[in-house]
Structure 1
């Protein structure tokens, strides 16, 4: 049996300040290489409030995520053209294969829509912060 990779801890390099919540900003680790995106938040404990990981995509592409080797449930916020495209809320961990995949399916056709990126935050954060489809997303570098 293959051991899971060790957890990665990336520096906080960006921030998403929510227009709908005064003074609520999410500090973001940025997974901007293929390897960083592959590892994501695997083997990491639950994220504290107002912390997350940004997975940018340039050019935009269909982005699918799964929760293999992830220790804590997450909310996945899919972003396109500076707006929240879709939210997969309270996505459960997956201790072994097969694992379900999650993607933005804004038009309900069962196919992954193109996204500019995905923000992973702790499970329940999207609801707590009242993040909704169509909300503005401006990621500022630090």
Structure 2
């Protein structure tokens, strides 16, 4: 008999970092979990019952691509921010519906997706074209993940 150990569904991504969004209202910093491995990306924020204010999760990819996400097994309504390789906001899907299996598309090539608490994008005035600072994205690097 072979035992297989699987990560807990509510486990957090191992790495953390800081994302800074620059909008018309100034700079806004968020402590984020970094989803890099396929398992971390598949799990995302599933099964979480809350997300601290000024926190989120960033999903990083090695090359730009059209992205698709969903909210299956996700209890928390989220804002999904799709980010270009140049470090700008491509598209925002605000206030996603918990548990929905509807597919949410990036609307173009993206290198990352940032998930924040629902309403956060509106609160800070985030819009397409705004700057995103994070290592490996835009001026901070190029697809280092």
Which category of TM-score, normalised to the shorter sequence, fits these structures? 0.7 to 0.9
Q: Please state how far the C-alpha of 1:46 moved relative to its aligned partner.
A: 2.5
Pair 1:104 & 2:91 matched: no
The answer for unaligned runs of 5 or more in structure 2 is 1-7, 137-145
2:12 to 9, 21, 31: 9
| Larger fraction in strand | 2
TM-score (norm 2): 0.80
2:42 to 27, 31, 38: 38
Ranges of 4+ aligned residues in structure 1 off by more than 2 Å: 18-24
Match of residue 94 from structure 1: 99
TM-score (norm 1): 0.82
Aligned length: 127
For structure 1, which segment, 79-88 or 56-65, has the greater mean C-alpha deviation from structure 2 after superposition? 56-65
Root-mean-square deviation (CA), in Å?
Answer: 1.8
Q: How far does the alpha carbon of each residue in 1:80-121 deviate from its partner, in whole angstroms, 9 at most, with x for none?
A: 0200000000001126xxx1010122xxxxxxx211110000
For structure 1, which segment, 5-14 or 85-94, has the greater mean C-alpha deviation from structure 2 after superposition? 5-14
